[in-house]
Structure formats: C-alpha cells, structure tokens
C-alpha cells in the first residue's frame, strides 16, 4: 500500500477517501463480531454503506458494523497516515 502524506490542505477529506478506497480494495481481513454493547449474537441485517454491513442487535437495538476489520488490519490502515508537522 502506498503511503499518503496528509497535510493541512483543502483536499484533506478527498485524500482520506482515496486512502480508504485503496484500503478497501486491498480486501482487508474482516471478522464477525457480536454486539459491542450487550455481546448478543442475535441480529438483523439492516443496510450496507461504504463497504460496511450494519447490523441491529435484537436484544438492545444497537446498530453496529459487522463483519469488521481486525485490529491488525486497522493498524496497517493507520500506519500509512503520516501527520504533516
């Protein structure tokens, strides 16, 4: 994955979106997770947005993303962000 340097410019969000799209294109590992609030595994699928599936917990009605990227994949994502100083 290419390293993108994010500076203080008006294209910040476009740059971040480009980086996110590249990250998703690399097909990062994702895992199913239970409800992060009550740990229930009962859910209803609701909708998908930006390559993420949103589930509604049947027990507490919380909305959460699952499957989600693993902690290791998340670290890779943030390693390509170099703050401009």
Which residues would be at the binding site for Zn ion (CB under 5 A)?
Answer: 35, 37-38, 40, 57, 59-60, 62
Rounded distance, CA 73 to CA 6, Å? 20
Nearest partner of 24 among 85, 79, 83, 74, judged by Cα: 74
Cβ nearer to Zn ion, comparing 22 with 56 = 56
The closest of 7, 38, 30 to 15, measured between CA atoms, is 7
Q: Nearer Cβ to Zn ion, position 6 or 65?
A: 65
- Considering the complex, what minimum distance in angstroms separates the CB of residue 30 from Zn ion? 20
- H-helix segments, the chain: 12-25, 71-79
Residue 37 or 47 having the CB closest to Zn ion:
37
Residue 49 beta carbon to Zn ion: minimum distance, rounded to whole angstroms: 20
Distance of closest approach, residue 56 Cβ to Zn ion, in angstroms: 9
DSSP label of 8: S
């Amino acid at each position: 994955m290419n390293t993108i340097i994010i500076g203080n410019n008006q294209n910040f969000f476009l740059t971040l979106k480009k980086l996110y799209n590249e990250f998703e294109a690399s097909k990062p590992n994702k895992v199913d997770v239970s409800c992060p609030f009550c740990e229930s595994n009962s859910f209803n699928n609701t909708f998908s947005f930006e390559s993420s599936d949103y589930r509604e917990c049947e027990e507490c009605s919380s909305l959460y993303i699952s499957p989600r990227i693993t902690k290791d994949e998340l670290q890779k994502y943030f390693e390509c962000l170099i703050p401009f100083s």
